[in-house]
Amino acid sequence: MANYNLVFAQHRQDNWGDQWNRVYFDTYDKYSAAIEAAQKIYDQAVLALSASERANNLSIQENNNTLTNQQLNDSTASLENQLATAELNLADSTITSPFAGTITDVIATLGTRPTGALFVIQDTRALEITTSVAEYDIPLIREGQQVRFTTEATGDDQLTGTIERISPTAIDTDGNFELTVRINNPDDRLRIGMNAKLTIVIDSRPDVYSVPYDAITTNAAGETVIIGLREDGKTRYEIPVTVGMETDYFVEISGASVTDGLKILNDPEGKNVVTSSGPTSPFGD
């Protein structure tokens, strides 16, 4: 009985050892597989972390580059705005005339802020004459009519101009109307502010005879005549004439006895003798 029990016990011990080995190795295999799987997961996590770090570093670098580029763009835009402002200020500091001319008056004062006009600029190459005409003469005046004028600076030289503008309204209570005359051929002797004596050519007749207005008289028969003077300088005689155009000083005349070199009296009293040397125009033509 004892031997049996010993054998049985030995048998049970052998069986338990086999079972333990099987359990041990099964457990070991399971844990080994688990450890291997965990290692793989760990390795994959390490790789993922490394890739993530590289991606993050790249993203940070890209963000830094983007930030740097944005800063450069902002800085460039700011500098361009400053340059544009400086150019504008420089342009504003330069005074430019809208037309060529000569500064005839300086209104601006150095060191003070301007509130109005700075200079008076006049075009001396396009001189004009401003004059006035009485209302009873206005119906005779038209734009484009020729004007002859003289000045003290130009002496007896007759210069010409053209009526450019006629004021549509009177400039004073006397009914005078302003005219603007453009000088046809500017003369270097002319200056702004000079006075001129003008003759407006209302009409003209070339190659006619003219005499002073006071030389025209009427004889006993009511005929219009001028008084001629013989060669002796004493004898007077009547010369019938036909009156044509008139100016303030001269009258156009014609007639069979009106010839070149005719000596006449320029007034009925015969105070002066006028010699007609050829056809002339009462307007200086």
> What is the domain partition of the chain in residue ranges?
1-94, 95-125, 126-200, 209-275
Rounded to whole angstroms, the Cα distance separating 167 from 179 reads 6
Q: If you classify domain 209-275 with CATH, what class do you get?
A: mainly beta
Res 206: pLDDT: 84
CA 78, 82, 88, 92 torsion: positive or negative?
A: positive
DSSP 8-state symbol, 139: G
Closest listed residue to residue 201, CA positions, set 252, 161, 253, 164: 161
Res 281: pLDDT: 46
Q: What is the CATH number of domain 126-200?
A: 2.40.30.170
Higher pLDDT, 231 or 180: 180
238: CB partners within 8 A, 6+ apart? 219, 223, 225, 226, 227, 228
The pLDDT confidence band at residue 285, using thresholds 50, 70 and 90, is: very low
Q: Does residue 17 surpass a pLDDT of 60? A: no
- pLDDT digits 0-9 by tens, 185-208: 888 888 888 999 998 988 888 889
Res 30: pLDDT: 61
Higher pLDDT, 2 or 94: 94
Maximum average pLDDT range among 22-26, 76-80, 223-227: 223-227
Region 169-195: what's the mean pLDDT?
A: 91
Strands of the sheet with 250-254, listed across from one edge: 209-212, 250-254, 242-246
Res 101: pLDDT: 74
Q: Does residue 137 surpass a pLDDT of 80? A: yes
- pLDDT digits 0-9 by tens, 25-51: 555 566 566 667 667 776 776 676 676
